[in-house]
Amino acid sequence: MQLKGSIAVVVGGATGIGAGVCRALSAKGAAVQVCDCDYAGAQALADELERLGGAAAAYAVDVADEESIAAAEAAIRSRHGRVDLLFANAGVISLKPFEQTTADDWRWILDINVIGCVSCVRAFLPAMRAQHSASRVVVTSSVAALRTPEMPGQTMYMASKAAQLGFCNALRTELAGTNVGLSVIFPGPVASQLRQKSEASRPGAIQLEVPKAVLGGGSMPPEEAGERIVAAVEKEQPYITTHPGDGPLVRQAQDAIMAAFEPS
Question: Where do the domains of the chain lie, and which CATH numbers do they carry?
Answer: 7-261 (3.40.50.720)
Q: What pLDDT is attached to residue 233?
A: 98
- From 153, 218, 166, select the one nearest 188 (Cα to Cα): 218
pTM over 0.75: yes
Q: Are 177 and 68 in contact (CB under 8 A)?
A: no
The percent of the chain in helix, strand and coil, each rounded to the nearest 5, is 50, 15, 30
148 pLDDT band (50/70/90 cuts)? confident
Distance from C-alpha of 56 to C-alpha of 154, rounded to nearest angstrom = 35
Report pLDDT digits (tens) over 222-245. 999 999 999 999 999 999 999 998
Q: What is the mean pLDDT of the chain?
A: 94
Share of the chain above pLDDT 70, in %: 97
| Residue 158, pLDDT above cutoff 80 | yes
150 pLDDT band (50/70/90 cuts)? confident
What's the whole-number mean pLDDT along residues 174-188?
Answer: 97
Q: What pLDDT is attached to residue 53?
A: 98
DSSP-assigned letter for residue 33: E
Torsion of CA 210, 214, 218, 223, to 10 degrees: -90
209 pLDDT band (50/70/90 cuts)? confident
Q: What pLDDT is attached to residue 152?
A: 84
> Could you write out the three-class secondary structure of 124-138?
HHHHHHHCCCCEEEE
Report pLDDT digits (tens) over 106-130. 999 999 999 999 999 999 999 999 9
Distance from C-alpha of 194 to C-alpha of 209, rounded to nearest angstrom = 13
Distance from C-alpha of 121 to C-alpha of 116, rounded to nearest angstrom = 9
Q: What pLDDT is attached to residue 216?
A: 61
What's the whole-number mean pLDDT along residues 25-46?
Answer: 98
Helices 39-51, 16-27: axis angle to 10 degrees equals 20
Strand-pair partners of 180: 135
SS3 call for 34:
strand
Torsion of CA 45, 235, 189, 202, to 10 degrees: 50
Q: Which of the given ranges, 71-75, 147-151, 215-219, has the highest pLDDT on average?
A: 71-75
